[in-house]
Structure formats: structure tokens, C-alpha cells
Structure 1
Amino acid sequence: MIMHYTTRDRNALAVHSDMIGAHALGVRNILCLRGDPPSVGGYNDVVGVWDISAVGLMRFLKLLNEGADWTGKPISGQADFFIGAACDPNVEPLEPQLRLMRRKAEAGAHFFMSQNVFDEKLLERFLHKAQRLGLPIIMGVLPLHNSRHAEFLHTQVPGMRLPDAVRERMRRAGEDGGPKEGQAMARDFIALCREKCAGIYLVPSFGRFDLVAELVAEIKS
């Protein structure tokens, strides 16, 4: 289990309390996230507050692992968090993303989890450069289920970028053939990631847990 934790709207004391509580409950894997601005959810008049960045959270978890608190003072015992960081292979240009990944690695990250990727060329370009950091990368795979799904992700979801060829394949598949075509593309990506990545995570969408369950069964077999 990997706990996804955003630092938005939490001050340093709240983050400290949450992390100590998570450790007490046996949570060890933490994916450190900044969190989207409230405007992404339609709350245009709400201001997001970031007392601590995602990188700051990684530094804090690293301190806890070393037996120190937020201020660097020694505490009784050491934590053993496995610190995760997000990355986005879809951005252009890629170099600022790689610099941010290096900062996260230096702050204490042990592994990366990527945004969902649909472009094989972008994936290969990203991995060629990002793997130089020497940390495992877990790629996100999201099975598409129809053309409307693909267009929504491409136009409405920040960080999502679907190539024209992928969207055209879903259009040609039609409503009835959409799930089958989406599964086929997901299988191709899983096969590519199996050779090049530390692992994958599957993302169900709009209640279509059946598509992910089918892929999990295939991978297990």
C-alpha cells in the first residue's frame, strides 16, 4: 500500500502530526504530492495554501528516518519511511522535469511514480534520461474505454496528454469496441514497461474497475 499525501492546506505542524500518526499505524510507503490548486476542482475563489512543498515533505521524512524532528533535533527512535515522488513524462520541454526529479532524489526520494502515459515515444525518451538518476520508476497505465473518455482526459485533466493516433484509434473503435481497443493499448504499454520500468500501477476510471481487474488477472497469469 502506498499512501498518497498532498501538502496543500496543511501547515508544518499538521504535516508532522499526520506523518507520525501514519507511522504509528504501520504506513511506510508515502507518495509526496503538492496537490492541485482548488481552481482545478472548480473552486475559483478559493486560495490554496502551501506551507510545505512536496520536496519539503521528502526532506522531513528523510529527517524522521535519520532520527530527527522537523527542526533537526534528535528524537527517540528512527522512522523507516519509503519515500515516493511524482514525475511527469508528458511535459515539454522535459529538462525542467528532470531537474525537479533530481531535486526530489536529493531530498530523499526512494522511488518515482509517473503520471499516466499514452505515448510510447515520450515514454522511451523519458526513461532514457530519467533512469540516469538510479531510482526505480513505476509507470501509470490507465485503460481507456471509449472516445469520450480519451477526449475528456486530453482536454480536461491537467497533466494528461493523449497523442492524436491514440485518440483516433478510440474514435474508430466506436462505443462498443472502445473497451476492447483500450485494453489492447494498455497491454502494449504494460509489455513495454515490463522491459524498461521497475513496475506499473493501473488506474481505474469512471467506475470501470472491471477493465483493471481483467488486466490484473492477465498479468498474474
Structure 2
Amino acid sequence: MDDTPYLLDASHWDWSVTGSIPHLLLAHLGYTALSVLVGALIALPIGMLIGHTGRGAFLAINAGNAGRSLPTLGLLSLLVTLMSIGFLPVLIALVVLVVPPILTSTYAGLRSVDPSAVDAARGMGMSGSQVLLRVELPMALPVVFGGLRAGVLQVVSTATVAAYTGLSGLGRLLVDGLALNDYGRVVAGAVVVAALAIVLDLLLGLVQRRVVSPGISGRGLGRSRPARPVAGSPLDAEVL
């Protein structure tokens, strides 16, 4: 009997073998990427509109609370019952999961922008859309990215439910492992999902560092050059 752990068995990493970990990982990434993309396309515009106008805050807050309280597996079971087995019920369930954190973070980020900056932009003659896109949204990006990263982590961990509808993905390791009492496969699935979540969060963190201005994120404040003391000032006397 082969005692090699499932995760360390080279045959389970063979790309030429259907159902190997690379195939399941690629499918899982596909479910995650599509769900986050669709969810962002829905949540970002709504969150920006609510945050910019200040109207509909009740919708944003309650949508976030409702989304966090919905059981994804129960919702998926209901959708499968209504729509039959397939990818669409999984996509809808994951989108419902990812919309609330992006929506609420976008709203909260825009509402946290310094009103004086918005007033200054309007005083310069900027239109409402220019204020939103050039002032409010760039300043809100750290909070928006926080919601996006939270949504991605939730989807990565929850996309395993796709296996319950007969689809591929890393959930197959969990579902099939439990069905076969192969706990090495279950552990392998849990480890790969956790590792994938960590890697994606680190990558999003790098993207955030490149996209968000250092002045907004607080980076670079410690690297600012000290001002040169003016001759005759107390600071100049101390230096001398």
C-alpha cells in the first residue's frame, strides 16, 4: 500500500491526468474570477452612486448584513432545485456572496472622504462625475480594496460548493474524499484552498500598493526628507 500523502504524490500533480490538482485548481480559479468580476460589475457602480450622493445608505448597509447572513449552501440548493444542476446556480450563489463586501466597502470608502477635498474640487469647477472619479474614488481606494480582498477570500473558500452540483474545482477533493473516506484527499483539498486564498490575498495586496497613491495609503510618510533648517532659526541653532 502506498503511504505517500495525497498532496505529495506526484501523480496527483500531473497535468496530463484529468482531475489532477492543477486541473481542479484552474477550474476553481475560473469560478472565483468570474464570480468576483460579475459581483464587482454589480456592486462597484451601486456603491459609488450611493457613496457619492449619500442616498440609499439603508440599502447598502442592509444588503451587507443580508449577504453575510445567507447560507451559501442553502441558497445553492434552492437555486439548483429551481434551475437544475449546472454552473449558473453556482455563479449566482457566489455573486450573492461577493456583492455585499464590495458594495459596503465602496460606499463606506466614498463617505469617508474628507468633505473639504470634495468642496475644493467643486470649487475648481469639477462636475459631479469628475469629483467622483478624480477625487472621491482615488481617496477611497484603500477601503474599496479592503472589501474586494474580503470578497475574493470568501469566494475562494466557498467555491468548493461547486462540487456539490457535479462541477470541477478544488471542492472535488473535499466531496470525493469524504465520500471515499479518503481523509488524506480532504486534507489536501483544505490545504490547497487555504494556500490559494493566501496567494490571491498577497497578489491583491501588491496590486493595491501599485494602484493606491502612497500619500493616501500612508506609505512613504516615513521616507519624506526633513526640511532644511532656516539660518538663524532655533532648529538651525540646534543642528549647529
TM over 0.5: no
TM-score between both structures, scaled by the size of structure 2? 0.24
- The structure showing larger relative contact order (alpha-carbon pairs under 8 Å, at least 6 residues apart) is 2
Say which structure is richer in helix: 2
Bigger proportion of residues as strand: 1
